[in-house]
Structure formats: C-alpha cells, structure tokens
C-alpha cells in the first residue's frame, strides 16, 4: 500500500510518462494538467522537486492546480481563483490579490495559511 505522498509522486510520474508517450505535448499547443493538492502529503523539499518537474516538463501546458498552501500560489501561479462555498469570491494575479484591501486572499496570506 502506498502512502498519500507516494501516490502523489506516482500520479505525477504517470502524467509525465503519458506526456512523453504523446511526443512531448498534449496535442496542438500543449495540453491541460489537472493537479488536486499535488503536494499536500509531501515535505517541502519533495514539494519543490514536484513543482520543478511541473514547471520544466509541462511548460506550454495549461496547469489547473487546487492548493491550500498559499505560498504555492504566490510563487507559481499566473492567476489565482479564490473560492468559498463553491463560489468564486476573488480572481487575479497573486500580486494583485495580496495587495487588494479587504480581500480574502490577502487575509489568508497575512494569516500565514
């Protein structure tokens, strides 16, 4: 039985193998990579390695990532969508959202979540 972290690494490896089997792209103009809490069960060193793999190997892809670690959004996201109760409450670049007075993202970021 694999741990949650091992399952996450296995899933990323499987996506990488599929990308390479398809000739390096997800079709015309890249592809879409969906990540649901990719690094929630791994340490920070492994998380950094996984993010490096995504950045390097899936360049040109649209990457949709669900993450509760805000540092991931601040470091790697082009656009952040903040949801509450299934509804979008904010959307923008990480920088814009951190600077937005009274915003959800800013409050969470300042709280260190």
CA atoms within 13 A on the CB side of 44: 3
Averaged pLDDT, 39-53: 84
Mean pLDDT of the chain: 85
Q: How far is Cα 102 from Cα 85, in angstroms, rounded to an integer?
A: 18
Long-range Cβ contacts of 19-23 (<8 Å, 24+ apart): 19/57, 19/58
CA distance 113 to 104: 11
At CA 112, angle to CA 89 and CA 90, rounded to 5?
A: 10
Band (65; pLDDT cuts 50, 70, 90):
confident
pLDDT confidence of residue 81: 92
- H or E, element range at 80: strand 80-84
CA distances in angstroms from 14 to 20, 96, 106, 113, listed in the order given: 10, 34, 35, 30
The reported pLDDT for the residue numbered 102 is: 92
Mean pLDDT, range 78-84, rounded to an integer: 91
* Highest mean pLDDT (candidates 1-10, 17-26, 37-46, 93-102): 93-102
Task: Provide the domain count of the chain.
Answer: 2
pLDDT band at 104 (very low <50, low <70, confident <90, very high): very high
**50 pLDDT higher than 90:** no
Model pTM score: 0.73
**What residues make up the domain containing 50?**
1-66
> Of the residues 66, 86, 103, which one is the last residue of a structural domain?
66
Clarify whether residues 27 and 58 are in a common domain.
Answer: yes
Of 66, 82, 98, the position where a domain reaches its end is 66
Do 58 and 72 fall into the same domain?
no
């Amino acid at each position: 039985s694999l741990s949650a972290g091992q399952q996450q690494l296995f899933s990323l490896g499987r996506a990488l193998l599929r990308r390479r089997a398809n000739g390096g792209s997800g079709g015309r103009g890249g592809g879409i990579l969906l990540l649901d809490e990719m690094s929630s069960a791994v340490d920070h060193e492994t998380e950094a390695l996984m993010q490096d793999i995504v950045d390097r190997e899936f360049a040109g892809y649209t990457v949709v990532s669900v993450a509760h670690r805000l540092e991931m959004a601040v470091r790697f996201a082009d656009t952040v969508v903040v949801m509450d109760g299934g509804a979008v409450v904010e959307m923008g670049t990480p920088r814009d959202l951190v600077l937005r007075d009274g915003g959800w993202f800013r409050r969470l970021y300042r709280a260190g979540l």
